[in-house]
Amino acid sequence: MSEEEFELMDELYFVQSFGYLKEVLNWEDEELLSTLQGLYKKELIKCLSGPDEEIFGPANIPEKGKFYYYLATKKGLMEHNTL
C-alpha cells in the first residue's frame, strides 16, 4: 500500500463523501480519483451512490467518483491495520 493509499484509508473507517476527502486531504481531483480507483481495484474500499446505498455493480470512479461516497472494506481495514 502506497503512502497516499494509507493516508486515504485513514479517512475511510466511516462513510465519507468525495468532497469531504478532498477537503481533509487537500489533494487535486485527479490524484484523489486515481488513488480511490487503485484502492477499489484492490477491493480495499467500496463505493456508494449515497450514504446508505452501496454500488454492487462496477463503479465508474474516473467519471462519477466525485458524486460517490466511500468506505473501507473488511479486507481494506485488515490490510491498513497490519502496516
Per residue in 25-49, pLDDT (tens digit) is: 999 999 999 999 999 999 999 999 9
Decide if 65 contacts 31 (C-beta within 8 A). no
Which tens digits make up the pLDDT trace of 47-67? 999 999 999 999 999 999 999
pTM of the model: 0.94
Mean of per-residue pLDDT scores for the chain: 96
* pLDDT value for 83: 67
Domains of the chain: 3-81 (1.10.10.10)
Q: Which positions ≥6 away from 40 have C-beta within 8 Å? A: 46, 47, 59, 61
Longest dimension (CA), the chain: 32
